[in-house]
Amino acid sequence: MESMTLKCPITIKAKVTENLKKQLSTEIQENIQKADLELQQIEFHAKRIMAEQAKQDAQGLVGLRHQVEGEKQKRLELKNHLLEKLKETAQLEIGSEIVQGTLERIVEIKVGDELPQLLNAEILLEDGKVLAFRS
């Protein structure tokens, strides 16, 4: 066998610009609003469900209350995480590079190829446009 075909990851990086910072901040703020809305919905549904549970079986109320509190805690942790990300986004330096994700590509390798170069491939973006391919 003289060659082999592999799937290799490609790191997608973005050059930080004012537009990118605004876009990231907007996305994070939208997710914070969604978390707030989910908290409100949990609170609203919890009141109704707990009232129904109290009428049917008061002993099940404790378990239900723990379940509701657990869901509320998950949303609060998410919101706090998002608030931290918002602070980090505000502190990003213009011109620096951040990782935005990974993709996969199919590569044909041959005897003598340098595998680390193939595995360390990157695509650099600036405001959604490809600036460079790196390996």
The C-alpha angle with vertex 12 and arms to 9 and 14, in degrees rounded to 5, equals 165
- Residues in the chain, overall count: 135
Q: By CB neighbour count within 10 A (0-12 exposed, 13-18 middle, 19+ buried), where does 29 fall?
A: middle
| Reported pTM | 0.75
Residue 8 has pLDDT above 70, yes or no: yes
Question: pLDDT tens, 78-96?
Answer: 999 999 999 999 999 999 9
Confidence of residue 103 (pLDDT cuts 50, 70, 90): very high
Range scoring the smallest mean pLDDT among 42-51, 52-61, 93-102, 116-125: 52-61
Residue 24's Cβ-count burial label (10 Å; 0-12, 13-18, 19+) is buried
